[in-house]
Amino acid sequence: QVQLVESGGGLVQPGGSLRLSCAASGFTFSSDTMYWYRQAPGKERELVASISSTGGTTNYADSMKGRFTVSRDNAKNTMYLQMSSLKPDDTAVYYCNVRRGVSYWGQGTQVTVSS
């Protein structure tokens, strides 16, 4: 069965950096576009970034452009999200997602940006 496991979250000061990972299993990882989403307290889940199956095409929400970088290693079945210049507004639970007829989600990893 499809499994997505996020890791790498934590507490970071404003202006700091974090790298999130999403380890995938149960499907042919190299065949699917992958997505990062986030959900802040009291807000709807929002799309952060996407990356095509080969990694050749990436897209970002406007507020993340220039600060976040999505990448993937198909040999390791893992997707990454490098986040820099973090702001308190980036505080959220970050989820990875794959759409294979239905949407599959990981359990999420908490990112807290605070001094």
At 101-113, the pLDDT tens digits run: 999 999 999 999 9
The pLDDT of residue 4 is 98
The pLDDT of residue 77 is 98
SS3 65: coil
At 12-69, the pLDDT tens digits run: 999 999 999 999 999 999 999 999 999 999 999 999 999 999 999 999 999 898 999 9
The pLDDT of residue 25 is 97
The pLDDT of residue 102 is 95
The span from the CA of 43 to the CA of 61, in Å, is 16
β-strand pairing of 18-25 with 10-12: unpaired
Q: Where are the beta strands (DSSP E) in 52-90?
A: 58-60, 68-73, 78-83
The span from the CA of 77 to the CA of 86, in Å, is 26
The pLDDT of residue 84 is 97
The pLDDT of residue 54 is 96
